[in-house]
Structure formats: C-alpha cells, structure tokens
Amino acid sequence: MKCPQFEERLSEYMDRTLPASEMGQVAEHLHECANCSALLEEMRSILLRCRSFPSYEPEIALIERVLLRTTGRPRTRTFRELLDQYFLRPLLTPRFAAGAVLTLMFIGLTFGLFRDRISSATALLSPRELFSQMDRGAQALYSRGLKVYDKKNEWQAQFTFIKNNMLNRLGLMIDQLDVPVEGKKKSGEPRQQQEKNPSGKSSLLLLPT
Amino acid sequence: MLSSDEKLVERCIQGDDTAWEQIVTSYTRRIYNLGYRYTNRRDEAEDLTQEILIRVYQNLKSFRADAGTFQNWILKVGRNLIIDHYRQTRRFQQAAGTEELETMNLKDEKVPSPERTVERDEAARFLREGLEALSPELKEAIILRDIEGMAYLEIAGLLGIPEGTVKSRINRGRLELAKLLSKRRAQLGWQM
C-alpha cells in the first residue's frame, strides 16, 4: 500500500469500518512508514481536541429577545429567578443594608438595656421552669377543687337540715289542725301557752348555728 | 408515534406559546454554538441564532414529521441561513481573539483551573485557526462530524449530499487539517 492509498482510508481505519483485509494492509503500511504513522497520531490528536472543543452558553437575553420577537411574550421565569427578582435583589441594596445595620444596632442596644429582664423572661421559658409552673398550676387547681367539694358538702348538709326542719314544722302544724272541736275550749289555755312557747323552742333556734 | 419535539411543534401550531418557549430553550444553545463554529464571532452567532429561530417559528407549519426529525429540520434551516450569511459577507470571520473566549460562559467544566482554561483556550484557538484555513465544505464537514458529533447519515441529510461524499469530505478535511496543524506546530516549535 502506498501513502496516498493509506490517506484515502485513514478515516475509515480510525473508525474501524474498513474490511479486515484492508485493516491489515493499513497496519502494515503504518509499521513501515514513519510519516503516515505521525499523520495518524496528528489526526487522533485533532479528533480529541475537536471532541473537547468548548461549548458556549448563550446569554439568557438572547432567548428573551427571540420570544419577544416571535410570541410577543417574555420568558417564563424559574422560581429561583422570581425569588431573585422580587425578593433578593430589592433586599440586597445599599439602602436595605443601611436599614438592616440600624435595626441590628437598635436590637443590640435594646437587648443591652433590658438584658436582666430579658434573661429572666427567657429563663421562664426554659423547659424546667415551664414544667414546674405547670405542676404548680395543677396543684392549685386541685386544692381549689377540694375547697369547692367541701363547700358543696356544707351546702348540702344545710339544705338537708333546713328541709328536715321544715318538714317537722309542717308535721306539727298538721297535728295541731287535727285536734277535735270539743277539746278546743279546754285546751285553749295550754294552746295559748303552747303558742307562746311551742315545744320549748323558737323558730330562730332552729336555724343552724 | 410522534416524538416529544413533534408534539411540541403541534402545540405551537395550535397557538401554545409555552411549547414554543420549550423549543427555544432546548435549541438555542445548539444553534448558537453551530453559528459560532462557522462565524467565530459571538455577536454574529447571536444574530444568526435569533434570525434562525424566528425563521423556524414562521415556518413551523411547513415541518413534515415523515420527512425527518425536527432536530434535523431546525439544523437544516439554521445551516441554510448560516450559508446565506456567508454568501452575503463572502467570508467566514477570522478567529476571534482569546479575549472573547475568556468573557464567554464556558459550560464544559464546572470549575476549571486557570491553567487548564488557558491551555484549553489556546488549543481551541489553534484548532479554530486551522479550520479557518480549510475550504468551507471541508470545514463544515469537520464541524458537523467531529465537533458537533453528528452521524454521517444526519450530515448527508442536512447538507443534501450522498453519504459517500460526506465521508470523503470528512477524510479530506481531517487530512488537510492534520498536515496544516503539524506544519504550524513545527514552525512554532510547540509540543501539544
């Protein structure tokens, strides 16, 4: 095989698409010809460089321009772009930075002035303190419940006593109404006495002490 | 069955602007880089990308799914406009300086080291200068095959030439480029 014939087959040799017999002839020629061997190496190097040829990213503005000139609508922003456009960019301005610094200074000053109060307030919010407060609250509630229960028992006893007293007095009155007519005159005096001193107790004395 | 691109085209034709936005977002980078490979100028690549996408939007109804994929169609429209641009200017611009490269957004490496960036930019500039010395047909074949990574059949469909001609152009282009760069390296005394 001569050099021009080798050159004609070089790409196919590199792609390994040559028939087996020709592959052997090319390999034989390469073994004999230093120039063709160097040419093959150069070509391999070029192919490698071509495949690693840098690929460039166009500007986003190009897509924007194309869309505006075709559909007339702007590009749909991603969430990150929207966040950047409406939140981060307005915040990251000198005015905002100055405001943020002043706010931080104010907070620092306030904290310095009211440090003791704030520390006691924050201590109240510790889990241990919160638990003990809850415990105290539960105990107070329980004691209040006991007092109410006692009061209820007391009221119940008073009610029972008054009820029984009333029933007794009603019973007595019914007994007096049941006395026969003949005995009315005879028993006038004792009755008057009874009225003056009925059963030895006044109604006031029936009240609980 | 329609591919996702073809469904997007159908939605576009029915007036769905979001579908068009998806197409623009998907293809802008590809078309921009194609334009940049041909022109070597960022401003021209941007103008071409804009013009190509507007042309695509205006001619969406002429896309036929049975004649090939939407990607091939859009690249064909792009390539035709790039060639028209070449005919108007009668030249492909000479390689832009590395200062332009440095201002562009490189996406290949996440955090390239400064040495690596300089080295890569220098290698890219060297290769681009070699490509500029080739005839437009050979340069185009190398760009589409070795830089854009397109298949022979795709290139044949895009350029409207037989697959054998594509292979021949690519082989000639590679050979010329290899000889040219080898010679230039020898002149500069470089070892890359």
Return d(Cα B164, Cα B147) in angstroms, integer: 20
- By CA distance, what is B103's nearest residue in A? A56
pLDDT band for A184, please (50, 70, 90 cuts).
low
DSSP B96: P
Query: ipTM, 2 decimals?
Result: 0.73
| pLDDT for position B82 | 87
* pLDDT tens by residue, A62-88: 999 999 998 888 888 888 888 887 777
| pLDDT for position A85 | 77
The CATH topology of domain B1-93 is Rna Polymerase Sigma Factor; Chain: A (1.10.1740)
Name the residue among A11, A45, A54 with its Cβ closest to that of B170: A11
* pLDDT tens by residue, A153-172: 999 999 999 999 999 999 99
Pick from B131, B120, B129: nearest CA to B174: B131
- Geometric angle at alpha carbon B139, from B128 and B83, rounded to 5°: 110
Second-level CATH architecture of B133-192: Orthogonal Bundle (1.10)
Three-state DSSP state, A73: coil
Contact between A39 and B182 using a beta-carbon 8 Å cutoff: yes
CB B149 within 8 A of CB B163: no
* pLDDT tens by residue, A92-135: 788 888 888 899 999 988 888 888 777 777 777 788 888 888 99
Residues of A with CB below 8 A from B174's CB? 10-11, 43, 46-47
Intervals of CATH 1.10.10.10 along chain B: 133-192
Intervals of CATH 1.10.1740.10 along chain B: 1-93
Contact between B49 and A66 using a beta-carbon 8 Å cutoff: yes
- Check whether B90 has a pLDDT greater than 70: no
DSSP lists the bridge partners of residue A57 as B105
Return d(Cα A43, Cα A3) in angstroms, integer: 15
